[in-house]
A and B are shown apart, each in its own frame.
Chain A
Amino acid sequence: MKKGYYGQWGGAFIPEVLYSTFAELNRIYEEARADAAFWQEYVAVMQNYSCRPTPLTVADNLSEALGGARIYIKREDLNHTGAHKANNVMGQGLLVKRMGKRRVIAETGAGQHGVATATMAARYGLECTIYMGAEDVARQRPNVFWMEKLGATVVPVTSGSRTLKDAMNEAFRDWVSSMEDTHYVIGTVCGPHPFPEMVAWFQSIIGIEAHEQILAQHGGLPARVYACVGGGSNAMGIFQGFLGQPQVELVGVEAGGEGVDTARHAARMKGSRARAGVAQGYKTMFLQNEDGQMLDTHSIAAGLDYVGISPILADLGEQGRVRFEAATDQEVLEALSLTMETEGLIPALESSHAFVQAYKEAPKMARDEAIIINMSGRGDKDIFTVAHAYDDPSWKEFIIARGQEYGG
């Protein structure tokens, strides 16, 4: 198979001006991948800086409440900056040091990847610019605050649908004139080769740990593993720990928004609105019209609000190795409430999509079966969105009072 392809998906559809930049990146990445000391250094950084290995928490209360399978939760929320994004960012940071570049740029949707990149840049002494859709800047204000405090420049992107894909386009536009001293830290398992493969490699640390942990804690493999899928980096991370065991069913949960039969969602594999296409440097299933123009997407979770999906996951879906489902905004809020009230855990809105599907299926499974839900991030960052969605009266009072204080 052609390099950088997964079945018919992937590739590197890059403008000629980036040819030599990608040649260098491929070389550095392949050298690192062949160097056992690099991976050891990476794991050591993650242990010392980002709380790895993250625990696999057994959710006894939920398992009792729902009946059926025993539920385990992989706690990527306990990473530094509160999401699995740190895994990829610190890994690429080590590559940036090898390349000797002095500046990094990144796109961000929910802001988690932007915050993670900004911390990495601060830690490694790099300049940092984050591109973020104007709509996401408005709905993820706390992350914008942290990025700026960490020393990054946040550029709101007002073109297109003003969300993640537009932020990615803008980061590419920066990169084609700055590549000599700048690395583009793509935040997910998408984009031109080697990004999907490279980001999946850094995220594989999740699955490696989860595999060992479930054997130790449960005494066997899980029957199913659930992960939410935007670009697909947390899903690829945990799935890689079980790809070699066909008896483990892998379930990717997409953003169903207001329903996959409406125009307001971001489900590429589930539903019928996506078609094969090429954009943002790679070939995958995109939500697009007949002419090939990308459609507007919607999700309550900014991090899942994206038109494309990892080419690796598109292939695994086509092969039938990963089953895709979708969770609606409303179901996500219900699952989030249940998780908070039952286990005292606050999953991010993105991660809550995986919880929805697990909660639907666990009661129908046997008591001696185990499932793992990948809790890709923590939900405290979503306080404004969640409080708004719950229409929480005391939160509103607080905001009004604070508004008056600032306004007056």
Chain B
Amino acid sequence: MELAHELHNRLEQKPILLMTHLVLGYPSLEDNRLVIEQMAANGVDCIELQIPFSEPIADGPVILKANQDSLETGITVEQCFTFAREMADRFPQVCFLFMTYYNIVYAQGEETFLGRTREIGLWGTIIPDLPPEEGQSYLQLSRELGLAAITFFTPTSTSARMEEVAGQGNGFVYCVARKGVTGKQTELDSSIEAYLKRCKGATALPLAVGFGISSRADIDRLTGMAEMAVIGTATIKLVDEQGPGAVGPFIAGLLAGSCQPAAE
């Protein structure tokens, strides 16, 4: 099944979906395992598994440091694939996606990278430094393999550009809530409502809203305006400060009341 279809099915059970993020190997694959277990147990729908890269230009200080620390442990792309396969097997209720930068894909070759991504049971890829103009063969291959190729909307995108970009991707569209790198504070103000309305008008794909969302109130505000809330830097900070055990209660708190997982 394709990701967009899967997400629409899930939206029949709950008003908004949740996507979380982690950097593979930070602080360790063992900690990643504990964090993912809790995310899965608390009803997270999608998880971005970021394969670390030495030059993560779209990431802010928290994720930048996580990338570097992970690389310093000597993690390889091969280990990331092995780990992702294990997670996809263990938690079939979660849609896992790879997030990384294009050089990691390019180094293996698009066909090998995407072919293996499909083969190990992931749903798609998110590559922030590969605009559609440069990604034609990646987009084509992703379509052929039935993998989601995530495209981006930003507050600086014109409506025409949004339509152009969304028309070439699939799965969902990642709506960046503000300018800048990952992890900066964002207030969900009225300008975001207008922006998301514009996003909605440009595509029929589900909208995922990311960059800076960290509280239950943020998610409540988003419900009805977007299909999926993205929690990125917040969980990395949480693991840094309180350890992997704090992730479960945090996710449960985000979802309490608004959209309980089906498992309860």
Contacts and interface: CB of A to CB of B under 8 A. Distances in A.
Contact of B103 (A15, A165, A277): A277
B28 interface: no
Nearest to A173: B181
Given A173-B181, A179-B179, A292-B107, A17 B55 contact: no
A281 B101 CA distance: 11
Contacts of B104: 291-292
B156 A279 contact: no
Contact of B58 (A12, A19, A176, A290): A176
A275 B161 CA distance: 33
Interface in A1-46: 11-17, 19-21
Contacts of B157: 16, 19-20
A345 interface: no
B53 A292 contact: yes
Give the residue among B58, B71, B152 with the most A Cβ atoms within 10 A. Answer: B58
A173 to B, nearest CB: 5
Contacts of A176: 58, 179-181
Contacts of B57: 15, 169, 172-173, 280-281
A11 B55 contact: no
B64 interface: yes
A16 B179 contact: no
Contacts of B155: 17
B142 to A, nearest CB: 17
B176 interface: yes
Nearest to B162: A16
B226 interface: no
Contacts of A286: 103
A239 B53 CA distance: 34
Interface string A148-170: 00000000000110000100010
B154 A16 contact: yes
Contact of B55 (A16, A177, A179, A294): A294
Interface string B91-103: 0000000000111
B200 interface: no
Interface of chain A, helix or strand or loop or mixed?
mixed
A243 interface: no
Q: Size class of A's contact patch? A: 20 to 34
Nearest to A3: B133
Contact of A12 (B54, B133, B153): B133
A61 interface: no
Given A292-B103, A293-B71, A15 B128 contact: yes
B102 A13 contact: yes
Contacts of A177: 179-181, 184
B130 interface: yes
B55 A160 contact: yes
A19 B161 contact: yes
Contacts of B158: 20
Interface string A121-164: 00000000000000000000000000000000000000110000
A281 B57 CA distance: 9
Contacts of A169: 55-57
A16 B131 contact: yes
A377 B169 CA distance: 47
B179 A165 contact: no
Given A16-B153, A16-B165, A281 B129 contact: yes
B76 interface: yes
A160 B68 contact: yes
A213 interface: no
A278 interface: yes
A276 B154 CA distance: 30
Nearest to B165: A16
A14 B131 contact: yes
A32 to B, nearest CB: 23
A119 interface: no
Interface of B: 53-58, 60, 64-65, 68, 71, 76-77, 101-104, 106-108, 128-131, 133-134, 151-158, 161, 165, 176, 179-181, 184
Given A159-B64, A169-B56, A177-B180, 20 more contacts: A12-B134, A13-B129, A15-B58, A16-B157, A16-B165, A19-B157, A20-B161, A160-B68, A176-B58, A177-B184, A179-B156, A277-B106, A278-B103, A280-B55, A280-B57, A288-B103, A291-B77, A292-B77, A292-B106, A293-B54
Shortest 7 CB-CB distances between A and B: which pairs? Answer: A292-B107, A177-B180, A16-B152, A17-B154, A292-B103, A293-B54, A294-B54
Interface of A: 11-17, 19-21, 159-160, 165, 169, 172-173, 176-177, 179, 275-281, 286, 288, 290-294
21 contacts: A11-B134, A14-B129, A14-B131, A16-B154, A16-B157, A16-B165, A17-B154, A20-B156, A165-B55, A176-B58, A179-B156, A179-B179, A276-B106, A277-B107, A279-B55, A286-B103, A288-B103, A290-B107, A291-B77, A292-B77, A292-B108
